Structure 1
Amino acid sequence: MKLTDLTLNTPYLSLDPIFYHEVIPTPLKNPTLISVNPSAAELLGVDPAQLETDELEALLNGTLLLEGSRPYAMCYAGHQFGYYVPRLGDGRAINLGSAEGWNLQLKGSGQTLYSRQGDGRAVLRSSIREYLMSEAMHALGIPTSRALALITSDEKVARERWERGAIVLRLSRSWIRFGSFEYFFHTHRHDQLEHLADFLLRESFPQFAGEEDGYLKMFREIVKRTAHTIAQWQSVGFNHGVMNTDNMSAIGLTIDYGPFAFMDTFESGYICNHTDTQGRYSYDNQPRIGYWNLERLAHALSPLVTETKLKTELEKYGEYFTARLMELLRAKLGLEGVDENDSDLFRSLFTVLENGRVDMTPFFRTLSRYEGDRKALLALTLAPNQLDEWCDRYDKRLELNTASTEVRQEKMLRTNPKYTLKNYILQQAIDASEGGDFTLVNDLLTIAQNPYDEHHDFEHFSLPTPHEFKNLRLSCSS
């Protein structure tokens, strides 16, 4: 199927007008297509071989509306850095409609009712980061929004400096957020709150729709999915950077990629967002903030379900998170079965990584080939004696395995990526793109989608991050 044969539908517009604002995208000047993601096109049933540059540019730039499209921005509220903001909404994102269960959204497509004095635009650097990172997370098996294509333009956008405007076309199974429910709860619009819950049930949790305790079961699933997603973040050293409730997906996805980072040197208290002066959204605080955000969601759902029942489900969050993280870490270390000392083994490992200023990604990749010789591992740390002692414990734990070393290594190499898109790597693609060279963006898309492969031409990106680029902090500005 061609892109222009795609028909969209807009079920969200069946809700009351207070839920949204219909608005036409504002085109950028002289758009240029940077990159297209064939795997995302296939999600929509579109043949990648039939994607035409002119049609894609027009779709992303808002000058082509597909059959059935009625563009709109969504209204929601949210807690930002712990403080409630009564109305936020899609200030620079416009929804086009849905197809094949995927909701299409243009980010950077101009002002909406919810822009709050903003220009409704996104800049090239942040758009490249989101485009590539959403695909990288998907390839790592982490629930996430996806990205179809990316354009830039001659139009200048004012941030800390003048930058090139850009638009990315994002896909998600749902764009409903924790803050969507907060908006209708705090404005005492409980009928609309119920309508939103019913819509989410139909859209994302149809197995619970129509059941007497459907709302409670939906909340239980949101708690579990959120816990599992954050456990996956922790296992790969991902720091989201801005876990406001308006950035929390109601179906447990990773969305709204802003000042994120894959950690370089492991730091438990790492903060990737320099706006976050108190460290609210630091790496080690992400699990706690996930729980805090779910508390806000439970409070917002309290007109529909008694708070006692919601609290009972919420208290399972820690169990879900811990069980999933332990499962992930056993896989990363190639451990079979369960041992009562595993949690202590994992904790001590991360202490050793932090003390030795170790880069997580190459460490776990190197560990995937471990068969007793520790030289390669010890070369990665500034505290070799500590790591050597930990390896003694690791060797003893491996004795519980029944599979061969070769089988363990094969599994670990499929679990521990050789490449993660660290910020210094992304910055190289951004710098080249700002000069008009988009080659590295497309090379990084290939790497992002195949993080366990070798990519010999890009071997340098698998090495520990150069010292001068380690653990950079970014701003929310984009």
Structure 2
Amino acid sequence: MKLTDITLITPYLSLDPIFYHEVTPTPLKHPRLVSFNPSGALLLGLDPLHIDTSEIEGLLNGTLLLRGSRPYAMCYAGHQFGYYVPRLGDGRAINLGATKGWNLQLKGSGQTRYSRQGDGRAVLRSSIREYLLSEAMHALGIPTSRSLALITSDEKVAREQWEHGAVVLRLSPSWIRFGTFEYFFHSNRYDKLENLADFLLQESFPELVGVENSYLKMFGEIVKRTAHLIAHWQSVGFNHGVMNTDNMSAIGLTIDYGPFAFLDTFESGYICNHTDTQGRYSYDNQPRIGYWNLERLAHALSPLINEEKLKNELDHYGEYFTEHLMELLRAKLGLESAHENDSELLRSLFSVMENGRIDMTPFFRTLSRYDGNKEALCALTLAPSQLNEWLERYDERLLRNSSSTDARHAKMLRTNPNYVLKNYILQEAIDAAEKNDFSLVNDLLTLAQSPYDEHPAFERYAGSTPNQYKNLKLSCSS
């Protein structure tokens, strides 16, 4: 199927106009394609081999409107760094419609009713980061929005300096956020709150439509998905950076990639967002903030659901999080089954990693080939004696496995990525792209989508992060 054969639907526009603002994208000057994602195309039923570049550029730039499309921005509120903001909304994103269960959204496509004092634009560096990271997270098995394509332009956008304007086309099964519910709760529009809950049920939880206590069961599923999502973040050392309630997906996806980072050296209190002066969204605080955000969602749903029942569902969060994190970490260590002392073994490992300034990703990848020879692992730490002691405990724990060492290695190599897109790697692609060289963006797309494979041409990205680039902080415009 070709791009122009697609017919979009816009069921969100069946809701009251208070939910959205119909708005036309504002084209950029002289757009040009940076990258097209064949995997994203397949999600929409497109043939990646028969894509017209000019049509993709037109779609992202807002000059090509697909059949059935009625562009609109969504209204929502949210708690930003703990403080409630009564109205936010899509200030620089415009939804085009949906097909095959995917909502198409342009990010950076111009001003909307919700732009406030913003210009409605995105810049090339932030767009590259989101475009690549959504695909990288998917390949790591982490629920996330996806991406179809990215354009840049000759249009200049003011951030810390003048930069190239860009648009990324994002895909998601839903763009409803915790903050969408908060908007209608805090404005006392409880009938609209119920309309929103019904819409989300139909869109993302159809198995619960018509079921007794459907709203409560939907909330319970959101609690579980959020707990599992953040457990998965923690397991790969991912720091989101801006876990405001308006950035929290109501269906448990990673969305809105602003300041983010994969840990370089393991630093439990790492803060990737330099705006976050109090460390609210530090790596180690993410599980607590996930719970706090769910409390805000529960409060917003209280006109529809008994508060005690909401609390009972919320009380499962810690259990969901811990069980899933332990499952993920056992897999990273190649442990076949649970044992009562595993939590202490894992706690001590992360202490050893932090004390030894160990880079998390190459450590687990090297551990995936561990056969009793400690030399390669001890070369990764500044505290080899501590790691050596831990490895002795690990050797004892491996005796409980029934499979062979080779079988353990094979499973671990499919669990522990060889590559994650750290910020210094992304910056190399950004620097080249700003000089109109998009080759590394496209190379990194391949790397992002096959993180467990060996890529000899990019082996330098599999090692520890160079010292000068470790655990840097980023701005919100990054």
Aligned equivalents of 1:84, 1:184: Cα separation in 2:
13
Output aligned runs, 1:235-384, within 5 Å.
Answer: 235-384=235-384
1:69 counterpart SS class = coil
Segments of 5+ residues of structure 1 without an aligned counterpart are none
Aligned equivalents of 2:439, 2:220: Cα separation in 1:
44
| Partner in structure 1 of residue 137 of structure 2 | 137
Aligned equivalents of 1:7, 1:120: Cα separation in 2:
26
Aligned equivalents of 1:194, 1:369: Cα separation in 2:
53
| Partner in structure 2 of residue 168 of structure 1 | 168
1:415 counterpart SS class = coil
Q: Report the CA distance between 1:212 and its aligned residue.
A: 2.5
Aligned equivalents of 1:201, 1:259: Cα separation in 2:
31
| Partner in structure 2 of residue 77 of structure 1 | 77
Aligned equivalents of 1:260, 1:112: Cα separation in 2:
25
2:97 counterpart SS class = strand
Q: Report the CA distance between 1:336 and its aligned residue.
A: 1.1
Output aligned runs, 1:196-207, within 5 Å.
Answer: 196-207=196-207
| Partner in structure 2 of residue 394 of structure 1 | 394
Q: Show structure 1 runs of 4+ deviating over 6 A.
A: none
Residue identity opposite 2:472 in structure 1: L
Aligned equivalents of 2:348, 2:372: Cα separation in 1:
19
2:156 counterpart SS class = strand
Residue identity opposite 2:300 in structure 1: A
Aligned equivalents of 1:475, 1:306: Cα separation in 2:
40
Aligned equivalents of 2:117, 2:426: Cα separation in 1:
29
Residue identity opposite 1:121 in structure 2: R
> Residue deviations 1:315-355, cap 9 Å, x none?
00000000000000000000011110000000000000000
> Residue deviations 1:250-298, cap 9 Å, x none?
0000000000000100000000000000000000000000000000000
1:73 counterpart SS class = strand
| Partner in structure 2 of residue 153 of structure 1 | 153
Residue identity opposite 1:153 in structure 2: S
TM-score for both structures, normalised by structure 1: 1.00
1:242 counterpart SS class = coil
Aligned equivalents of 2:337, 2:159: Cα separation in 1:
52
Aligned equivalents of 1:476, 1:197: Cα separation in 2:
31
Q: Report the CA distance between 1:151 and its aligned residue.
A: 0.1
| Partner in structure 1 of residue 191 of structure 2 | 191
Report the number of matched residues: 478
1:90 counterpart SS class = coil
2:113 counterpart SS class = coil
| Partner in structure 1 of residue 413 of structure 2 | 413
Residue identity opposite 2:377 in structure 1: L
CA RMSD of aligned residues (A): 0.4
| Partner in structure 2 of residue 437 of structure 1 | 437
Aligned equivalents of 1:18, 1:337: Cα separation in 2:
51
Aligned equivalents of 2:332, 2:477: Cα separation in 1:
34
| Partner in structure 1 of residue 466 of structure 2 | 466
| Partner in structure 1 of residue 94 of structure 2 | 94
Output aligned runs, 1:95-134, within 5 Å.
Answer: 95-134=95-134
Residue identity opposite 2:128 in structure 1: I
Aligned equivalents of 2:50, 2:11: Cα separation in 1:
28
Aligned equivalents of 2:144, 2:472: Cα separation in 1:
23
Verify: 1:67 aligned to 2:31, yes or no: no
TM-score for both structures, normalised by structure 2: 1.00
Output aligned runs, 1:7-46, within 5 Å.
Answer: 7-46=7-46
Residue identity opposite 2:125 in structure 1: R
Residue identity opposite 1:358 in structure 2: I
Residue identity opposite 2:405 in structure 1: T
| Partner in structure 1 of residue 55 of structure 2 | 55
Residue identity opposite 1:194 in structure 2: E
Aligned equivalents of 1:13, 1:58: Cα separation in 2:
23
